[in-house]
A = this chain, B = another copy of it.
Amino acid sequence: MSKGAGILRGASRSVYFATKNKAKYLEAARITATYGVHLRYLPFSKQEIQAEDLREIASFAAMEAARSKVRTVVAEDAGFFVDALKGFPGPYSSYVFKTLGTSGILKLVENVRNRKASFLSAVSYCEPNRRPISFTGTVRGLVSKKPKGSGGFGFDPIFIPSKGDGRTFAEMQIDEKNAFSHRAKAFRRFARWFTSSR
């Protein structure tokens, strides 16, 4: 795509990130900016549905935000999926973190050989009264034996990404984690599509 088309698009169509989490917005905006996509902040408490596919949850939220705010938006949903627990806690990671915490997950995988797990992110783009389009990002890794590190949030202290050096996500600097995080991957895929597809 030519630089001119990018500028035209930026001028003609703003994309808002509908989220109540400003830190998440700042993280995403930094990623999309490297593709020339200026993401705007739209404080929005999304109505999350119960679904096992994060794309459905993000799509529903994006449609709701696009409809109620009459804006072109993206919404995001993420989850932590443990292979030996059939994907639990998955789409309900926030609730499970609040109730069971990292210690609950460690108790559930005690004496379990298969420690494989993933973080997944789904970013959905939606224009008012249009169907949403979703982009996903995954990072594979292992559940650690005990929590380590104080950075990040949620299950970061018990997740060791396969492509790292053995440290948990919570032991990494934010930029280091974002270099290969699930959320960064999903937002990069969205930004690439947005700047080149039309």
Q: Which residues of A contact B (CB under 8 A)?
A: 47-50, 52, 57, 85-88, 90-92, 95-96, 98-100, 104, 107-108, 110
Contact = CB atoms under 8 A, between A and B. Distances in A.
A96 B85 CA distance: 10
Contacts of A107: 107-108, 110
A104 B95 contact: no
A167 B91 CA distance: 34
Contact of A95 (B47, B50, B57, B108): B50
Q: Which of A52, A85, A86, A92 has the most CB of B within 10 A?
A: A92
Contacts of A108: 100, 104, 107-108
A65 to B, nearest CB: 15
Contacts of A47: 49
A46 to B, nearest CB: 10
A153 to B, nearest CB: 18
Given A88-B104, A92-B92, A92-B96, 8 more contacts: A50-B95, A85-B99, A85-B100, A85-B104, A88-B95, A91-B95, A100-B108, A108-B108
